[in-house]
Chains A and B, each alone.
Chain A
């Protein structure tokens, strides 16, 4: 049972901290910092389902987030939908796209699949940049009235914050549930040896397509929430290629294949990144750090911070998943 697993309660503890901290001080700046951390956790947790669980490196993970943002913003601003239904619809739409893509692309393996994911990102970026209903390269803006249903812009910021925290919590619980399910066992088998997995009875093509689609859902919902909160979207901020790479760095840093590790890597890296980005002297230096970190992790600690913890405290393996 999931309720008996410490990592499940750890997830809720984390969510509680996220809810409580900015509320206590009514601190909007802290809230903005934490929402970025939460988004990083959402992206990395779902990326982990592909890389950590299934062994397929997705270099274009950010495409789910950006596309979700576009669909969400379009539904709210042009179609006049409410935010929650628009966000869920964005998630479903992007998941279906991913499933269709996945059934085709996931016949590829290893480096070829990784290359194809870059192709998908570039192709979607190019398509959206030329798509009239979505404002081509200038993107879309949200009129101020769009925040009315949530009680005005100020209030809407808080509402979206809590919705993002909810999506973050769901992402981690989803990872925990999949990890100890029959489906998850099949994914792990594919990661270890896909040919052997197929001979053991796993329909690898379908499994991979499903997890690719599942890993698209919550990032797309988060994208819809975040771009609604920001009030605007354009192709270059929706599909930020570097974020895709940094997501992989965060995952490797924390420990791929582990739920808590993915969240930890995302949180630590995102805080460091924000610090470097806002520091006047070190702007854009975060990419140098990202590259360096990735090298260090790959060379010296290929299973990340959690792997390191497992090594020195073997018993932690049962508690920290």
Chain B
């Protein structure tokens, strides 16, 4: 499969903190790439660099055949790279439908209002929020707000979807539903790049995993490779038996 996104030697410093340092990786088409690492490892910063919220100090990001280094988030979405936020950012005063309509209006296809509303209704059905379409976004539960984040991003018709901890804070049932949803998204040909702390889930979902620690890439490989890597165990997983535990259940 061809390469969809490539970062080469990306670095970002905030004052005295080297948040991300010399990170390179690729995402292929229709691939789910997981991003794990301890708190403060620079995962969300890396997301912010990829979708243009931060400009990298060094390094280059290519999406498709375009150099997107330094493009603003609103330009990156138009090329087909959408994201969700770890701390959900619903447009509180607007309805669920309007939230998703915004995504469709200003996404890759830049739809007109009417067409955007159709797309939004469609996406809401996919994520299971259709019956809440006219509720104000602020009235949703956390799980529903996370779905709303995903719906808004999906409405932009992305080629690559960045999911920042969409499973955190959900109950086991909600986690299972979200995993289902992510699988369906990939089946539709969208690549997924996801940050997650819920190990079982990310091990099950990902084709490959990148591990960050102190802003640097510690390891990269298939889930079993990563889970049995001694460096990863020491820095993050903490238990040498964990690989077997994580991989046995499905």
Partner of B74 from A182, A191, A202 at Cβ < 8 Å: A202
- Expressed in whole angstroms, the Cα–Cα distance for A20 and B103 within the complex equals 46
Tell me which residues across on chain B come within 8 A of A32, comparing CB atoms.
none
Number of A interface residues at 8 Å Cβ cutoff, please give it.
Answer: 20
**Interface of chain A: mostly helix, strand, loop or mixed:** helix
Partner of B72 from A181, A186, A193, A198 at Cβ < 8 Å: A198
Task: Kindly report which residue of chain A lies nearest to residue B89, judged by CB atoms.
Answer: A196
- Given the known interface contacts A182-B113, A188-B94, A196-B85, the answer about A204 and B74 at a Cβ–Cβ threshold of 8 Å is yes
- Given the known interface contacts A185-B105, A193-B91, the answer about A198 and B73 at a Cβ–Cβ threshold of 8 Å is yes
Whether A182 contacts B89 by the Cβ 8 Å rule is: no
Whether B74 contacts A185 by the Cβ 8 Å rule is: no
- Given the known interface contacts A191-B93, A201-B107, the answer about A185 and B98 at a Cβ–Cβ threshold of 8 Å is yes
Whether B112 contacts A199 by the Cβ 8 Å rule is: no
Shortest C-beta distance, B135 to chain A (Å), equals: 14
Whether A192 contacts B113 by the Cβ 8 Å rule is: no
B96 at interface, CB cutoff 8 A: no
Partner of A202 from B92, B94, B106 at Cβ < 8 Å: B106
Shortest C-beta distance, A80 to chain B (Å), equals: 45
Tell me which residues across on chain A come within 8 A of B143, comparing CB atoms.
none
B163 at interface, CB cutoff 8 A: no
- Expressed in whole angstroms, the Cα–Cα distance for A199 and B98 within the complex equals 16
- Expressed in whole angstroms, the Cα–Cα distance for A229 and B93 within the complex equals 42
B77 at interface, CB cutoff 8 A: yes
Partner of A185 from B73, B78, B102, B152 at Cβ < 8 Å: B102
Tell me which residues across on chain A come within 8 A of B216, comparing CB atoms.
none
Tell me which residues across on chain A come within 8 A of B156, comparing CB atoms.
200-201
Shortest C-beta distance, B72 to chain A (Å), equals: 7
Among residues 63 to 89 in chain B, which have CB atoms less than 8 Å away from a CB atom of chain A? 72-74, 77-78, 83, 85, 89
Task: Kindly report which residue of chain A lies nearest to residue B110, judged by CB atoms.
Answer: A201
Task: Kindly report which residue of chain A lies nearest to residue B155, judged by CB atoms.
Answer: A200
Partner of B83 from A186, A192, A199, A204 at Cβ < 8 Å: A199
Task: Kindly report which residue of chain A lies nearest to residue B48, judged by CB atoms.
Answer: A199
- Interface flags for A84-113 (1: CB within 8 Å of B; 0: not) read 000000000000000000000000000000
Shortest C-beta distance, B2 to chain A (Å), equals: 25
- Expressed in whole angstroms, the Cα–Cα distance for A199 and B81 within the complex equals 10
Shortest C-beta distance, B174 to chain A (Å), equals: 22
15 contacts between A and B (CB under 8 A): A182-B112, A185-B98, A186-B102, A186-B106, A192-B91, A195-B53, A196-B85, A198-B73, A200-B103, A200-B152, A200-B156, A201-B78, A201-B103, A201-B156, A204-B74
Query: Given A180-B113, A189-B91, 6 other A-B contacts at CB below 8 A?
Result: A185-B98, A198-B73, A199-B73, A200-B74, A201-B77, A201-B105
Chain B positions within 8 Å of A, measured between CB atoms, are: 51, 53, 72-74, 77-78, 83, 85, 89-94, 98, 101-103, 105-107, 110, 112-113, 116, 152, 156
Chain A positions within 8 Å of B, measured between CB atoms, are: 180-182, 185-186, 188-189, 191-193, 195-204
